């Protein structure tokens, strides 16, 4: 019987991630939302690629 979960190796529900960013000389702090409310599942025969905006992975 296939219950829809056969082969599922990863399930993410409601993923959210924020980063705090300091302004020049640490004077102000702002919050940057990277993702909000992301839900997905990955099966054993699939490949998942996550791509952000240009420069989204760079440290500043």
- Is 48 part of any domain? no
Mean pLDDT estimate for the chain: 80
- Is 51 part of any domain? no
Q: Which two tokens stand for residue 19?
A: 């980063």
Distance of alpha carbon 35 from alpha carbon 18, whole angstroms: 7
Give how many domains the chain has, as a whole number: 1
- Is 35 part of any domain? yes
- Is 32 part of any domain? yes
Residue length of the chain: 60
* pLDDT band for position 47 (cuts 50, 70, 90): very high
| pLDDT, tens only, 13-39 | 999 999 888 877 767 788 888 889 999
Distance of alpha carbon 32 from alpha carbon 11, whole angstroms: 25
pLDDT of amino acid 42: 93
- Is 18 part of any domain? yes
pLDDT over threshold 70, residue 5: no
pLDDT over threshold 70, residue 8: yes
- Is 50 part of any domain? no
Q: Show the domain range for 19.
A: 8-43
pLDDT over threshold 60, residue 4: no
């Amino acid at each position: 019987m296939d219950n829809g979960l056969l082969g599922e190796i990863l399930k993410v529900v409601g993923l959210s991630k924020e980063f705090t960013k300091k302004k020049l000389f640490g004077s102000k702090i702002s919050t940057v939302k990277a993702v909000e409310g992301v839900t997905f599942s990955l099966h054993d025969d699939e490949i998942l690629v996550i791509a952000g905006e240009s420069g989204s992975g760079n440290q500043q």
